[in-house]
Amino acid sequence: MNKMFTKITKLNNLLFWGILLQIGWVNMLSAQSHASTEKSVENTSIAEKKLIAFGETLKLNDVSEKTTWTINRLGSDNIPITGTGAALNDYVFAIPGNYEILIHENLDHQPGECEHRHLPEKISLEVSRVRMVFNTQAIVFSNEIRRGVDTKGITMAVPITIQTYDKQPVAFNQALVNTAGVGTNITATLSEPKIFQDGNYTLVYNLQGIASQQAYIMFDFVDVNGQVQAYAHLKQIK
- 153 plus 109 within the same structural domain: no
- How many Cβ atoms are within 10 Å of 69's Cβ, its own excluded? 22
Range of the domain at 140: 132-237
Residue 223, pLDDT score: 97
Residue 73, pLDDT score: 94
Rounded average pLDDT over 120-135? 97
- Number of domains making up the chain: 2
Rounded average pLDDT over 119-138? 96
State the pTM of this model.
0.74
User: 25 in a domain, yes or no?
Assistant: no
Rounded average pLDDT over 60-65? 89
Note whether 88 and 52 are within 8 A (CB).
no
Does residue 3 have a pLDDT over 60?
no
Q: List pLDDT tens digits, range 197-233.
A: 999 999 999 999 999 999 999 999 999 999 999 999 9
Does residue 103 have a pLDDT over 50?
yes
Q: List pLDDT tens digits, range 10-61.
A: 444 544 444 444 444 444 444 444 444 444 334 445 789 999 999 999 999 8
Does residue 4 have a pLDDT over 70?
no
Rounded average pLDDT over 123-143? 97
User: 156 in a domain, yes or no?
Assistant: yes
Does residue 1 have a pLDDT over 70?
no
User: 174 in a domain, yes or no?
Assistant: yes
Rounded average pLDDT over 128-141? 97
In this prediction, residue 109 has a pLDDT band, given cuts at 50, 70 and 90, of low
CA distance 71 to 125: 10
Note whether 82 and 69 are within 8 A (CB).
yes
Residue 191, pLDDT score: 82
Residue 21, pLDDT score: 46
CA distance 48 to 30: 31
Q: List pLDDT tens digits, range 162-194.
A: 999 999 999 999 999 999 999 999 999 998 889
User: 182 in a domain, yes or no?
Assistant: yes
Percent residues over pLDDT 70 in the chain? 77
CA distance 209 to 150: 6
- 113 plus 52 within the same structural domain: yes
Residue 16, pLDDT score: 42
CA distance 94 to 91: 9
The string of DSSP codes covering 34-80 is HHHHHHHHHHHHPPEEEEEETTB----S---TT-EEEEEE-STT---
Check which CATH number belongs to the domain holding 143 and give it.
Answer: 2.60.40
Q: CA nearest 177: which of 196, 157, 162?
A: 157
- 143 plus 92 within the same structural domain: no
Q: Which of 107, 128, 149 is the last residue of a domain?
A: 128
